[in-house]
Amino acid sequence: MAAVIEIENLRKTYVSLLRGKRVALNGFDMQVTAGQVHGFLGPNGSGKTTTLRTLLGLARADSGRMFLFGQPVPQALPAVVHRFGAIVESPQFFRNFTGRRTLSLLARVGGLPDARVDQVLELVGMRERGDEKVKTYSLGMKQRLAVATALLKSPELLILDEPANGLDPAGIREMRDLVRGLAAAGSTVLVSSHLLDEIEQICDSVTIISRGKRVAAGPVADVLATQDKGEHLVGVRDDDRDRAAELLSAAGLSVVPRDGRLVVGGVSDPARVSEVLGSAGVWLTELSPLTPDLESVFLTITGTTPEPGTHRPVDESRDEPWPAPTEAPAKAEELSQ
Ligand SMILES: Nc1ncnc2c1ncn2[C@@H]1O[C@H](COP(=O)(O)OP(=O)(O)OP(=O)(O)O)[C@@H](O)[C@H]1O
């Protein structure tokens, strides 16, 4: 399958007079295959929005290579811009326009038939509210309107930065169905989100970024498998628990008690657990695999598992000292971004 997005060794440093240099992307790589829903995950400040802004020509990279539909960007953006839709920062709408008027205006600018407006309003579940003014919309409705604007040109690729932001549970489910529906119709979707269970449900593949670098990528199942330690939840009668722990430890398995049961790691064949215990007259009441979910994998890989009593800095990027006076002064464009 062809790669719709390819990013190689992308570097981006922000420079500000107040804070000096800040490395946002530190040699980041990503590939998104055609027809997939691809999740883009990372802790706060890890570089997701910077990646998307750089890919779309809204910020300039220090170095690295990027391709959309096989064409180098930002140079080829004018040639491919009609093939993708993106919502990277909360778009601003005219407050006194209705949703429909907003979309009609954009459709006209893009040379699209007005009939497309009704289609996209329907797609994002806003058909009934389309004739109300934007200023009466909730955050979630504005989010849907934003998605509708990105869908107007029936893009082959849709890039959504935190599309579930502000949506209630029903809205999140609708967004999920919308994204899956687009993929089923042949579109490619890149979606960044902090909602890991959502990503696990809707994405075929993921890229996880931490401190401006890719730390994991691939089909969701493969990424989950990297952290699969063969853990099983083992239940025995209360009286047998200590003995079971001893037996399993003696058999070379790791054993940690949890909520009246034992978490046993390093199990390549579950039959071994029942064999070890059964041969000593200890009988199982439960034996179930503990497969990692995306949230636990994410927390482990990015090193952001909360530790009771400690606070994690909210921003992951690396500060660098202000450049020595001999270095070239930062460009005005960089300072303003
Ligand atoms: N315009 C800017 N000027 C200076 N620093 C910036 C600018 N935009 C982003 N940064 C910094 O770059 C780093 C990466 O930010 P970015 O917004 O890309 O992260 P993110 O992964 O999208 O975070 P979040 O999940 O919180 O949205 C952060 O340290 C951020 O403070």
Q: What is the pLDDT of residues 263-289, one digit of tens each?
A: 999 888 889 999 999 999 999 999 998
Query: What residue owns the CA closest to ligand 1's atom 2?
Result: 337
- Band the pLDDT of 309: cuts 50, 70, 90: low
Atom of ligand 1 nearest to the CA of 53: 18
CA distance 78 to 82: 8
Res 312: pLDDT: 58
User: C-alpha dihedral over 190, 196, 201, 202, to 10 degrees?
Assistant: -10
Which of 21-25, 88-92, 200-204 is predicted with the least confidence, judged by mean pLDDT? 88-92
CATH fold for domain 3-225: Rossmann fold (3.40.50)
Fold equal for 3-225 and 232-289: no
What are 122-143's pLDDT values in tens digits?
Answer: 988 888 999 999 999 888 888 8
b/e sequence 90-116, b meaning 16+ C-beta within 10 Å: eeebeeeebbbbbbbebbeeeebeeeb
Q: Cβ distance 57 to 200 under 8 Å?
A: no
Q: What are phi and psi of 5, to 5 degrees?
A: -125, 130
Query: What ranges do the domains of the chain cover?
Result: 3-225, 232-289
Binned at pLDDT 50, 70 and 90, residue 172 comes out as confident
Average pLDDT (198-219) is 91
Q: Say how far apart CA 243 and CA 227 lie, in whole Å.
A: 28
Residues with CB under 6 A from ligand 1: 14, 16, 22, 24, 42, 44-50, 315, 317, 337
Tell me what pLDDT residue 148 has.
Answer: 92
Q: Which architecture characterizes domain 232-289 according to CATH?
A: 2-Layer Sandwich (3.30)
User: Side chain identity at 238, as an amino acid letter?
Assistant: D
pLDDT at residue 335, rounded to an integer: 36
ipTM metric: 0.97
Threshold 0.90, pTM exceeds: no
Q: Which atom of ligand 1 is nearest to the CA of 12?
A: 12
Q: Which helix (H) or strand (E) holds 71?
A: strand 71-73
Reported as half-sphere exposure (CB side, CA atoms, 13 A), residue 331 has a value of 8
CA of 316, closest atom in ligand 1: 29
Q: For residue 9, what pLDDT band results from cuts at 50, 70 and 90?
A: very high
Which residue lies with its CA nearest to atom 25 of ligand 1? Answer: 44
Name the residue with the closest Cα to ligand 1, atom 11: 24
Secondary structure class of 2 (helix, strand, coil)? coil
